[in-house]
Amino acid sequence: MSFFLTPVSIAFILVLLGWIFKSERPGKKTDDESKTKPEYHPWVDEDLKDSTENHQTEDVDEFHESEENLEHVPFSSPRFPEHEMIRRSQEFYELLNQRRSVRFISDEPVPRQVIDNVIKTAGTAPSGAHTEPWSFVVVQDEEVKHKIRVIIEDEEEINYKKRMGDRWVNDLKKLRTNWIKEYLDTAPFLILIFKKIYGITSSGRKKTHYYNEISVSIACGILLAALQNTGLVTVTTTPLNCGPRLRTLLDRPANEKLLMLLPVGYPRKDATVPDLKRKTLEEIMVVV
Work out how many domains the chain is built from and give that number. Answer: 1
Q: For residue 98, which phi and psi values (nearest 5 degrees)? A: -85, -10
User: pLDDT band at residue 129, thresholds of 50, 70 and 90?
Assistant: very high
Neighbours of 105 (CB within 10 A): 25
Domain assignment present for residue 139? The answer is yes
d(CA 112, CA 188): 10
162 has pLDDT over 80: no
Q: Which of 6-15, 144-153, 219-228, 247-256 has the lowest mean pLDDT?
A: 6-15
46-102 per-position pLDDT tens digit: 565 544 444 445 554 455 456 678 899 999 999 999 999 999 999 999 999 999 999
How far is 23 from 28, CA to CA, in rounded Å? 7
CA distances from 27 to 33, 37, 144, 246, 248 (A): 11, 13, 49, 41, 44
Q: Which residues pair with 60 in a beta bridge?
A: none
Decide if 155 is inside a domain.
yes
Question: Has residue 224 been placed in a domain?
Answer: yes
Domain that holds residue 182: 112-265
Residue 172 sits in a domain whose CATH number is 3.40.109.10
Q: How confident is the model at residue 17 (pLDDT cuts 50, 70, 90)?
A: low
How far apart CA 170 and CA 163 sit, in angstroms, is 13
In a domain, 190, yes or no: yes
In a domain, 274, yes or no: no
pTM for this model (two decimals) = 0.78
Task: Look at residues 268, 266, 261 and name the one whose alpha carbon lies nearest to residue 138.
Answer: 261
The answer as to whether 118 is a domain residue is yes
What's the pLDDT tens digit per position in 99-127? Answer: 999 999 999 999 999 999 999 999 999 99
